[in-house]
């Protein structure tokens, strides 16, 4: 090595021709296979997801009705006056009135059914039911078997349970 001179190639690395061209990304076939696998998984999971959504709608609607009953009872006690549910059809919404003034309202709940659809519920100044004693309301989602029950006992306290009434 003493008598030899080493010459280094100082050209830019990018300018050198490469012996192997590397590719980045996915090929069209790989991408199509991935999309097909995702479509199959989505098709398998869709019915379960629909049942989950229906179940959550029923839970939310029954909880909203239960809360409205508690509000009506509480307002009747607090204001020492009658509190009534104003209902044309539970699926289109309802409101709680004390002395002719709305104190609580619920908007329409589409895709749900209530049985009975328009119960008569009124609380007296003592918090007990004037009308609606022993009422049982079943909340269910259209096209599923998911149901929840709200029962009003003679004291006016609502009870929430799973399943039909």
pLDDT at 90: 87
Comparing 140 with 45, which gets the higher pLDDT?
140
Mean residue pLDDT of the chain comes to 85
Tokens 């078997």 — which residue? 145
Distance separating alpha carbons of residues 149 and 160, to the nearest angstrom? 6
What percentage of the chain has pLDDT greater than the value 90? 45
Query: CA-CA distance, 4 to 2, in Å (whole number)?
Result: 6
DSSP lists the bridge partners of residue 139 as 114, 148
Query: Please, which residues have CB within 8 angstroms of residue 2's CB and are 6 or more apart in sequence?
Result: none
Band (94; pLDDT cuts 50, 70, 90): very high
Residue 145 pLDDT class (50, 70, 90 cuts): confident
- Quick check: 16 pLDDT over 60? no
Whether 13 has a pLDDT exceeding 70, the answer reads no
Residue 74 — pLDDT band, cuts 50, 70, 90?
very high
Residue 110 has pLDDT above 80, yes or no: yes
Higher-confidence position of 53 and 24: 53
Residue-level pLDDT at 20: 59
> Given a cut of 60, is residue 133 above it in pLDDT?
yes
pTM of the complete model: 0.71
Lowest-pLDDT choice from 24-28, 62-66, 149-153: 24-28
Inform me whether the pLDDT recorded for 27 exceeds 80.
yes
The percent of residues in the chain predicted with pLDDT above 70, rounded, is 86
Q: Would you give the DSSP letter of residue 48?
A: H
CA–CA separation, 93 and 88 (whole Å): 8
């Amino acid at each position: 090595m003493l008598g030899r001179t080493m010459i280094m190639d100082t050209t830019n690395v990018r300018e050198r021709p490469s012996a192997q061209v590397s590719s980045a990304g996915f090929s069209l076939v790989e991408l199509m296979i991935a999309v097909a696998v995702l479509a199959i998984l989505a098709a398998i999971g869709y019915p379960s997801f629909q049942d989950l959504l229906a179940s959550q709608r029923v839970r939310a609607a029954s909880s909203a009705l239960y809360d409205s009953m508690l509000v009506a009872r509480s307002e009747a006690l607090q204001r020492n006056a009658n509190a009534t549910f104003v209902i044309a059809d539970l699926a289109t919404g309802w409101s709680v009135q004390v002395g002719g003034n709305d104190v609580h309202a619920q908007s329409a709940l589409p895709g749900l059914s209530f049985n009975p659809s328009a119960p008569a519920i009124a609380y007296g100044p003592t918090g007990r039911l004037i009308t609606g004693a022993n009422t049982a309301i079943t909340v269910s989602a259209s096209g599923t078997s998911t149901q929840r029950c709200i029962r009003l006992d003679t004291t006016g306290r609502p009870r929430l349970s799973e399943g039909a009434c």
